[in-house]
């Protein structure tokens, strides 16, 4: 099994804490301490250290898009008119609530985004009335998701 790169910021105990938190981000630190046979204060110190190192970037709730009515989920590649537009396009995409991920990529596309929408008509409006109106967007190519085969966290 792959594991995170060992460096000066982590050790075996840190990786155990990260593994347990990635399985259940809501586990009380006191329960985590009992499972790992360490003190509650040590868990707090280690998590704080991992946050300060930028390894743990936050705790969040994962929402189910389909259950919230977002029936159309796409991954869309964006071709820019010129490479210099990539950064300003990404900034404008942040303002569109339905664009929930944006990645810099190599190859045909400059950016690859994930869009959630209630239906295909709403997706069309997001693409044509918002994304294609951003200065520097040349074209888009969308791939419809029929559902995730699986999703998982980083290996630790």
**Same domain (yes/no): 74, 137:** yes
**Same domain (yes/no): 18, 86:** no
7 assigned to some structural domain:
no
What is the domain-level CATH number for residue 92?
Answer: 3.30.70.920
**Same domain (yes/no): 106, 134:** yes
pLDDT-based confidence at 5, cuts 50/70/90? low
Q: 36: domain range?
A: 12-53
Averaged pLDDT for residues 129-140: 98
Which 3 state secondary structure label does DSSP give 76?
strand
**Same domain (yes/no): 95, 47:** no
DSSP 20-56: HHHH-TT--HHHHHHHHTS-HHHHHHHHHHHHHTTSS
In the predicted structure, residue 4 carries a pLDDT above the cut 90 = no
pLDDT in tens, 9-50: 689 999 999 999 999 999 999 999 999 999 999 999 999 999
**Same domain (yes/no): 34, 98:** no
Please give the tally of structural domains in the chain: 2
């Amino acid at each position: 099994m792959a594991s995170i790169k060992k460096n000066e910021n982590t050790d075996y105990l840190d990786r155990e804490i990260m593994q347990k938190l990635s399985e259940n981000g809501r586990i009380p630190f006191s329960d985590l301490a009992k499972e790992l046979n360490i003190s509650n204060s040590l868990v707090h110190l280690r998590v704080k250290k991992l946050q300060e190192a930028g390894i743990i970037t936050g705790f969040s709730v994962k929402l189910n898009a389909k259950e919230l009515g977002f029936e159309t989920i796409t991954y869309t590649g964006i071709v820019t008119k010129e490479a210099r537009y990539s950064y300003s396009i990404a900034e404008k995409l942040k303002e569109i609530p339905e664009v929930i991920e944006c990645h810099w990529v190599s190859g045909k596309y400059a950016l690859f985004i994930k869009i959630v929408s209630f239906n295909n008509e709403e997706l069309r409006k997001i693409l044509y009335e918002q994304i294609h109106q951003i200065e520097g967007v040349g074209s888009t190519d969308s791939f419809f998701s029929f559902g995730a085969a699986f999703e998982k966290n980083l290996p630790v």
